[in-house]
C-alpha cells in the first residue's frame, strides 16, 4: 500500500547547523503514528518540513505517493494533509462557530463555488454544526473562542484540523498543558476525529503516546533511531539509552 507520508533522506539546516540529518520515514495509511524524542531533537522542525512551513535543505517528502517537497502549506492542505500548531492559531474575537466555519472555508469545494451559493451556505453551516457536535462544543457555538477554557480551545483546534476532511492529520503536542482528566478527554476526541484517517503527532506525554499510537518513531539529534510498535519501542535498548529510560517505566 502507498504510504500516507514518506520521507526520503530529508535534511534541514539552519545556517551551518544541520538539525534534521537524513530522515527516512514511512507513515502507513490509517495508522496513528507518534514522533517522540528529547527537547531540541527536531520534532517540530520535521513537522514544519512535512507541512510545508519550512523548505527542505535536502531529500523529499511524499503524500500518498505524490511528491509535495517545498510546496506551500495551503497546497499541501488541499492535497489532504491538515495540521494543528503547538501555539494556538484560533481567532480569539470570533465565535467558536465562526472559527470552525473559517477553517472549513479553506476546503476547495467551498472556496471555489460561486454557483448554488445558498445551498453551499446551508451545507457549510450544517457541516460546522456536525464538527461542533463531534468535539462537544455545540452549546458554546456563539461564545468568542478567546473565552473558552484552555482544554476547549485545544479541542477546537483539533476539530478544525480534522474538519476539512483531510485524510492525514498532524497534531503538535495535542495534550500539552492539560490536566489528567482533560488529557483523557483529548485522547477520546483524537481517537474519534481521526477514525479511518492517518494521524501523525508529536507528543511529550508518554501515557498519551503509548495509549494512542499504533507505531512510534524516536527522533534523537535529527535522526530517527527506531520506528516500531509501542511495545517494541518500550523494550528497545537503543531507545532506552538515548531517551526513554525511566519515562517508559512510568508510562
Judged by CB under 6 A, the number of residues near ligand ATP is: 10
Q: Does 19 bind ligand ATP (CB under 6 A)?
A: yes
Distance of CA 241 to the CA centre of its chain: 27
Please identify, using beta-carbon distances, which residue of 55 and 139 lies nearer to ligand ATP. Answer: 55
Q: Does 10 bind ligand ATP (CB under 6 A)?
A: no
- Shortest CB 214 distance to ligand ATP, Å: 21
Q: Does 52 bind ligand ATP (CB under 6 A)?
A: no
Helix (H, G, I), strand (E, B) or coil at 23: strand
- Shortest CB 128 distance to ligand ATP, Å: 32
Please identify, using beta-carbon distances, which residue of 41 and 209 lies nearer to ligand ATP. Answer: 41
34-42, 68-76, 162-170, 183-191 -> range binding ligand ATP (CB under 6 A): 34-42
Q: Does 103 bind ligand ATP (CB under 6 A)?
A: no
Q: Which residues partner with 12 through β-bridges?
A: 20
Q: Are the beta carbons of 233 and 225 closer than 8 angstroms?
A: no
Dihedral, CA atoms, 42, 229, 24, 57, nearest 10 degrees? -20
Sheet holding 198-202, edge to edge: 81-83, 168-172, 198-202, 32-36, 215-220, 223-228
Cα separation, 80 vs 50, in Å, equals 12
Among 6, 44, 160, 186, binds ligand ATP (CB under 6 A): 44
Of 111, 161, 172, nearest to 131 (Cα)? 161
- Shortest CB 43 distance to ligand ATP, Å: 4
Q: Does 42 bind ligand ATP (CB under 6 A)?
A: yes
Which stretches of the chain bind ligand ATP, using CB under 6 A? Answer: 14, 19, 37, 39-45
Amino acid at each position: 500500500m502507498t504510504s500516507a507520508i514518506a520521507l526520503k533522506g530529508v535534511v534541514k539546516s539552519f545556517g551551518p547547523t544541520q538539525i534534521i540529518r537524513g530522515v527516512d520515514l514511512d507513515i502507513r495509511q490509517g495508522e496513528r503514528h507518534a514522533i517522540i524524542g528529547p527537547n531540541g531533537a527536531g520534532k517540530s522542525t520535521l513537522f514544519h518540513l512535512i507541512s510545508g512551513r519550512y523548505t527542505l535543505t535536502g531529500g523529499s517528502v511524499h503524500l500518498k505517493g505524490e511528491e509535495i517537497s517545498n510546496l506551500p502549506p495551503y497546497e499541501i492542505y488541499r492535497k489532504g494533509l491538515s495540521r494543528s500548531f503547538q501555539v494556538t492559531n484560533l481567532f480569539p474575537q470570533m465565535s467558536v462557530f465562526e472559527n470552525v466555519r473559517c477553517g472549513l472555508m479553506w476546503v476547495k469545494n467551498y472556496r471555489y463555488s460561486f454557483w448554488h451559493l445558498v445551498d453551499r451556505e446551508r451545507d457549510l453551516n450544517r457541516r460546522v454544526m456536525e464538527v461542533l457536535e463531534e468535539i462537544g462544543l455545540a452549546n458554546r457555538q456563539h461564545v468568542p473562542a478567546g473565552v473558552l477554557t484552555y482544554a476547549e480551545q485545544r479541542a477546537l483546534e483539533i476539530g478544525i484540523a480534522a474538519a476539512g476532511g483531510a485524510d492525514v492529520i498532524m497534531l503538535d503536542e495535542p495534550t500539552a498543558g492539560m490536566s489528567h482528566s482533560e488529557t483523557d478527554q483529548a485522547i477520546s476526541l483524537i481517537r474519534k476525529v481521526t477514525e479511518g484517517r492517518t494521524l501523525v503527532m508529536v507528543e511529550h506525554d508518554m501515557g498519551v503516546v503509548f495509549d494512542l499510537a499504533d507505531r512510534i518513531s524516536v527522533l534523537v539529534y535529527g535522526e530517527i533511531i527506531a520506528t516500531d510498535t509501542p511495545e517494541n519501542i518500550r523494550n528497545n535498548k537503543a531507545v532506552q539509552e538515548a531517551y526513554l529510560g525511566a519515562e517508559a517505566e512510568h508510562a
